[in-house]
Amino acid sequence: MKRDEYSLALLCDFYELTMSRGYFETEMRNKIAYFDVFFRRVPDGGGYAIAAGLEQIVRYIEDLRFTDSDIEYLRGKNKFSEEFLDYLAGFRFNGDIWAVPEGTVIFPGEPILTVRANTIEAQLIETYVLLALNHQSLIATKASRMVRAAKGRPISEFGSRRAHGEDAAVYGARAAYIGGCTGTACTLSDKLYDVPAGGTMAHAWVQMFDNEYEAFTTYCRLYPHNPTLLVDTYSVFGSGIPNAIRAIKDVLWPQGLKECAIRIDSGDIAYLSKKARKTLDEAGLTDCKIIVSNSLDEYIIGELIAQEACVDAFGVGERLITAKSDSVFGCVYKLTAVEDEDGNITPKIKVSENAAKITNPHFKKLFRMYSNETGKAMADLIMLYDETVDQTEPLEIFDPEHTWKRTILENFTAREMLVPVFIEGRLVYDLPPIDEIRDHCAREIATMWKEVLRFENPHGYYIDLSQRLWDLKNEMISKYIKGNKD
């Protein structure tokens, strides 16, 4: 079946459909459910993550329909009543969604998206919401790490051919751009999402010609404005750079064009780049940039810079597009409350022998406190939906690493992090252009202390529960334990 011949309504775990039928045929059908999306651990042992994927969730919700073909497929499973299938045939999402904007710095345990909808609507969207946030947040976070390691040098995403499928290539390039990359090799991501696409040449281009010099001069004639020549097909210094220098002088210089670059895709990058810089400068090509690639990540990039490699830009492929070093983000979708027909909200909690898997109950808000003196983020506070932060009084926050300690926040401004996206099924959020998302991400990173941003043993960012939420959680845990003992 061709891609444009099927809907995404069935991109869900099958149990979401069987549970939905159960809700439909019981009193649960009329209940409103609240679900939080949050993650438990930052990939790569980092101190922060970047939210991405909201735009795709919005498009999915807007287009969510069960087609005639979908209904026929489900009828053939012999598990669903005709009344339930009729309901699905007219299905529309009519609930509410709040989320942090894309590009926002996020931390474990915090609600980054909250759904309020009837039980069936809330259940059916779980899989897509998670896959969109998990994938793009993972890649945006990895890109942010690499961009910071590069210390201002541009990074382009080169990973389409190593991505885990076509969507991973396209959306991965989008997420990498949000995380700070300057562009992508993925042309479709440029067309669909305005991620700037660009590229140089493959080794095959050089091999197609009788010699390197002819390959380079031909390319320079075709693309005289800032061409990049790949110099390691045969020998970087035996032929590659000498032929590149000749081609640039013979083709570009007579036109008064000096901007150009070479790319090195193999070997000892630190040694080769320093020797290449010296060779280029001695030949008068001081405007020629050096771009490097070849299985790079944030640690290799950092080492190259520490070794004073003469690199002007990086191309990063498989270790970015697959987040190879830690390839699971781990967002989960957990029930936190239910609401009856009279609007009464009852909190729900998941209790586990693994303390990290005990959820925070109830419908909640998320606030971030910023120092009025430095502009830096000081702490996040998760509160019940009807609470707010008093910015005129000192605020006590638990130390995340030593829960017996309190930190006192003063002279701060509180910002509510979750913004309305859908209200009663209507989109109320203006999706920003991707350049605005990318700029927002850069501003978010700038509000973080360096101790939180470091790669190794980052400082634990302060995240606390309000006193009311803390008390509610502990009361519910105690009731659960007592109830099971009885």
Q: Strands across the sheet with 313-316, in order? A: 183-184, 155-157, 313-316, 288-292, 260-264, 228-230
Which tens digit of pLDDT belongs to each residue from 400-448?
555 556 788 999 999 999 999 999 999 999 999 999 999 999 999 999 9
Q: What is the mean pLDDT of the chain?
A: 94
For the chain, report the end-to-end CA distance as a whole number of angstroms: 55
Last residue of a domain, one of 321, 338, 368: 321
For the chain, the domain total comes to 2
Same domain, 373 and 479: yes
Same domain, 221 and 337: no
DSSP bridge partners of 184: 157, 197
The whole-number pLDDT of residue 312 equals 97
Last residue of a domain, one of 276, 303, 321: 321
Q: Is the pLDDT of residue 5 over 80?
A: no
The whole-number pLDDT of residue 405 equals 62
Side-chain half-sphere exposure of 211, counting CA atoms within 13 A? 10
Same domain, 34 and 148: no
Same domain, 270 and 398: no
In whole angstroms, what is the distance from residue 368 CA to residue 390 CA?
13
The whole-number pLDDT of residue 3 equals 62
Same domain, 365 and 481: yes
Same domain, 312 and 333: no
- Give the mean pLDDT of 10-20: 96
Same domain, 90 and 179: no
Q: Give the domain CATH number at 240.
A: 3.20.20.70
Same domain, 81 and 220: no
Q: Give the domain CATH number at 98.
A: 3.20.140.10
In whole angstroms, what is the distance from residue 325 CA to residue 301 CA?
14
Domain residues for the domain of 179 are 140-321
Same domain, 312 and 350: no
Same domain, 313 and 363: no
Which tens digit of pLDDT belongs to each residue from 81-95?
999 999 999 999 999
- Give the mean pLDDT of 105-115: 97
Same domain, 169 and 296: yes
Last residue of a domain, one of 321, 350, 378: 321
Q: Which of the 8 DSSP states describes residue 29?
A: G
311 close to 270: Cβ distance less than 8 angstroms: no
Tell me the CA distances in angstroms from 231 to 5, 206, 290, one per residue in order.
45, 9, 10
What torsion do the CA atoms of 116, 117, 118, 123 make, to the nearest 10 degrees? -90
For residues 17-44, b (16+ Cβ closer than 10 Å) or e, as one string? Answer: bebbbbbbeeebeebbbbbbbbbeebbb
Same domain, 242 and 339: no
Q: Quick one: which of 94, 89, 42, 98 has its CA closest to 70?
A: 89
pTM: 0.95
Q: Is the pLDDT of residue 184 over 70?
A: yes
Q: Which secondary-structure segment (H or E) carries 171?
A: helix 166-178
